[in-house]
Amino acid sequence: RVFPFRDARWAPDPVLAPGAAVRSPQPAPLVIDNGSFQTRAGWGCPDPSVPAEPLLRFRSLAARSRGARGGAGAETQVGNDLGSPEPLRWLLRSPFDRNVPVQLELQELLLDHVFQRLGVSSQGCVDHPIVLTEAVCNPLYSRQMMSELLFECYQVPKVSYGVDSLYSFYHNRRQKWPCSGLVISSGYQCTHILPVLEGRLDAKNCKRINLGGCQAAVYLQRLLQLKYPGHFAAITLSRMEEILHEHSYIAEDYIEELQKWRCPEYYENNVHKMQLPFSNKLLGSTLTSEEKQEKRQQQLRRLQELNARRREEKLQLDQERLDRLLYVQELLEDGQMDQFHKALVELNMDSAEELQSYINKLSVSVEQTKQKILQSEVNIEVDVVDSKPETPDLDPLGSEQSLEDVESINEFEPLFAEEQPEVEKPVAAVQPVFNLAEYHQLFLGTERIRAPEIVFQPSLIGEDQAGIAETMQYVLERYSKEQQAVLVQNVFLTGGNMMYPGLKARVQKELLEMRPFQSSFQVHLASSPVLDAWYGARDWAVEYMNREEGWITRKDYEEKGGEYLKEHCASNVYVPIRLPKQPPRAAEGAAPGRALASGTG
């Protein structure tokens, strides 16, 4: 059970050419699932020649480089053009705070990328209707900024906003619409519990848990970095997301599952070993003792040669300066005083005594350097002699003593003969072998269940929040028993963080514990938890393409403001801004007059 990390690189998105069916008889709606983890975009066209699937899928990230020193401007990369997020981790920016877009400059970069790669060729505007997903109970300011971006910057004819999890619920409807149910949606940043009554969202009883796949990846990264501090840098967020997607699962009973992992046999049968990349060239322990000794001798020889070269250079410089000083001293002895004083000035000396002291010091230094050079040559010769194989030294004068020693050793030979094989065998058999591949393996035991468990037990990471089961029970208790029975008949799971094996069984177990005895309930998982939001938005766009319900036109935007929302079956509930009523100006003007009249009376 050794699994290598794929470390897959993202391929840049190609520029697609839209077909004729997208433009005629009327512009087809452009469906964008604007998620905090991934953006998905495609056409909502009923024509069979247009693919009924998202044509673009990329991470909702952008990175802007600082620019080269040569004068090149800053370069901005979006989505799959980044290649891999890890080298640019500290430059990555997202337009989302939790699941709400707040950085509209970055959101504009993502939309530019979508329109460019889908081949929207209209000049100066985007003449296609836009179907865009938004967060549950999206703040009015965020919707206002998004509408302003779409209508003012891109000149779109009309736009429709909807909730991604409700679009998924609409796509997977099992009963005749409108129907009721309890939608549990868990994504990259948040988890939502959404009650739907008669096909409409009951926004007053919606609840959010600020935990999702992002927090699970960070928690798993911290667990493994504490467990393997030697591989701190290799345990990246991208690899943790890969582990969560492919090797994690939800335990039906968390405590009981932890007890199973305490069994060594269960651990050996279920542990997953993740192989980190490594290189055999860095391994120094594969060298034999003879090769290590030879390498050490080569290094020693190289150092000795380097020191000898430096000593020779120093000796040459000192000798040249000593010859120069001796030449100046000869000028003094010959009586050439003018040349002598001129030479002293060049040497920065004041008197003949100072010249003599420098000559003495240089002479001593030259002699010491010569002795060191000779000593180093002798040491090299001794090393070469010692490296030869040793030969037995026969002493003819001490032959009698050596024969006595041999006879005394022969007396104890039977005793050593029995112990000698026992001593030699372990020495020959025990050879420490370092397995480099095993050293670069991450053993995933209880980490496989601890990281995804945080959505049920947020206290594992110190979050003071309720888990999915407690929040679900809290939402159900806000309804009557009849409404509760209707809601639990259609518990719907959607979102990328709901794809763990065993999650459906865990929700069924939690419902069994909280529901009355012998009461029935049904739990359904979305057919494609990641893409069903886009498929549902496309279904809605095709069905309501020629209707006015749910579409916000440019006239509505100009008259009612950017925060205006037209409700439909998969949208939020529109709550307009209520400003306090101002008192009429006539009453304000009459008040001073009445006061004046009362004063004069």
CA distance 552 to 158: 5
* Residue spans of the chain under pLDDT 50: 70, 282-284, 384-404, 406-409, 411-431, 587-601
pLDDT at 413: 47
- CA-closest candidate to residue 435, choices 290, 287, 288, 283: 283
Residue 597 token pair: 């009249």
Domain range 2-172+531-560, its CATH number among 3.30.2270.10, 3.40.30.160, 3.30.420.40, 2.40.50.180: 3.30.420.40
pLDDT at 433: 64
Residue appearing with tokens 């705070």: 97
Query: What's the per-residue H, E or C state across 504-562?
Result: HHHHHHHHHHHCCCCCCCCEEECCCCCCHHHHHHHHHHHHCCCCCCCCEEHHHHHHHCC
- CA-closest candidate to residue 31, choices 136, 132, 166: 132
In the DSSP assignment, the letter for residue 582 is P
Contact present, 242 and 6 (Cβ < 8 Å): yes
Kindly give the residue spans of alpha helices, DSSP state H, lying in 430-531: 436-439, 447-450, 468-476, 481-488, 503-514
Contact present, 78 and 72 (Cβ < 8 Å): no
CATH 3.40.1050.10 fits 213-278+440-525, yes or no: no
CA distance 506 to 253: 8
pLDDT at 340: 83
CA distance 509 to 400: 94
3-state helix, strand, coil in the chain (%, to 5): 50, 15, 40
pLDDT at 388: 44
pLDDT at 389: 44
pLDDT at 301: 86
| Angle, alpha carbons 329-332-337 (nearest 5°) | 135
CA distance 247 to 2: 12
pLDDT at 598: 40
